Amino acid sequence: MGMDSRIEIKVTNPKKVDNVVHPVGQGHATSASSPPQPSASSPPTDGQGRQQQQALEEGLRHSHGRGRQGRGLIDYMPFKNWVPWLIPGFVIANVVVFLISMFINNCPKHSSSCVGRFLGRFSFQPMKENPLLGPSADTLEKMGALDVIKVVHKHQAWRLISCIWLHAGVFHILANMLSLLFIGIWLEQEFGFVRIGLLYLFAGFGGSLMSALFIQAGISVGASGALFGLLGSMLSELITNWTIYANKLAALLTLIFIVVINLAVGLLPHVDNFAHIGGFISGFLLGFVFLIRPQFGYVSKKHIPTGYIVTSNKPKHKPYQYILWLVSMILLVLGFTFGLILLFRGVNLNDQCSWCHYMSCVPTKLWNCKSQQAYCESIEYQNQLNLTCISNGKSGIYNLSGESTSQVQQLCTKLCSR
The DSSP line for 249-281 is HHHHHHHHHHHHHHHHHTTSTT--HHHHHHHHH
Q: How many CB atoms lie within 10 A of CB 48?
A: 9
Tens digits of residue pLDDT in 200-253 = 999 999 999 999 999 887 789 999 999 999 999 999 999 998 877 778 888 888
What pLDDT was estimated at residue 71? 40
Tell me, what's the pLDDT at 62? 45
Give domain 85-360's CATH superfamily.
Rhomboid-like (1.20.1540.10)
Cα separations in angstroms, 183 against 4, 248, 331:
7, 19, 25
Question: Given 123, 172, 179, 276, which residue is catalytic?
Answer: 276
* Chain-centroid distance, C-alpha 217: 25
Q: What integer pLDDT is reported at residue 312 of this predicted model?
A: 62
Q: What is the spatial distance between Cα 172 and Cα 51, in angstroms, rounded to a whole number?
A: 64
For the stretch 37-94, pLDDT in tens is: 444 444 444 444 455 445 444 444 444 444 444 444 344 444 678 899 999 999 999 9
According to the model, what pLDDT value does residue 418 have?
Answer: 53
Helix (H) or strand (E) holding 88: helix 86-105
* Phi and psi angles of residue 367, each rounded to the nearest 5 degrees, phi first: -155, 165
**Comma-separated ranges of CATH 1.20.1540.10 domains in the chain:** 85-360
DSSP E strands in 82-180: the ranges are: 146-147
Residue 32: C-alpha distances to residues 17, 27, 311, 370 (Å): 11, 15, 15, 68
pLDDT score, position 308: 66
Given this model, what pLDDT does residue 332 score? 97
Q: Is 300 left (phi over 0), alpha (psi -120 to 50) or beta?
A: beta
Is 5 in the active site? no
∠ CA 283-284-288, rounded to 5° = 105
- What single letter denotes the amino acid at residue 407? Q
Catalytic residue selected from 123, 136, 224, 328: 224
Please name the residues in contact with 289: beta carbons below 8 A apart, sequence gap of 6 or more: 325, 328, 329, 332
Decide if 276 is catalytic.
yes
- Neighbour-count burial for 344-362, b at 16+ CB within 10 Å, e otherwise: eeeebbbeeeeeebebbbe
pLDDT of residue 250: 84
pTM beyond 0.75: the answer is no
Distance of CA 103 to CAs 60, 90, 143, Å? 61, 20, 12
DSSP letter for each residue of 326-389? HHHHHHHHHHHHHHHHHHHTT--GGGT-TTGGGGT----SS---GGGG--EEEEEETTEEEEEE
Q: What's the chain's Rg over C-alpha atoms?
A: 28
- Counting beta carbons within 10 angstroms of the beta carbon of residue 256, is it exposed (0 to 12), middle (13 to 18) or buried (19 or more)? exposed
CA distance 375 to 83: 46
d(CA 213, CA 165): 20
In the chain, which stretches have pLDDT less than 50?
1-2, 4-49, 52-53, 55-78, 372-374
Given a contact cutoff of 8 angstroms between Cβ atoms, the answer to whether 101 and 166 are in contact is yes
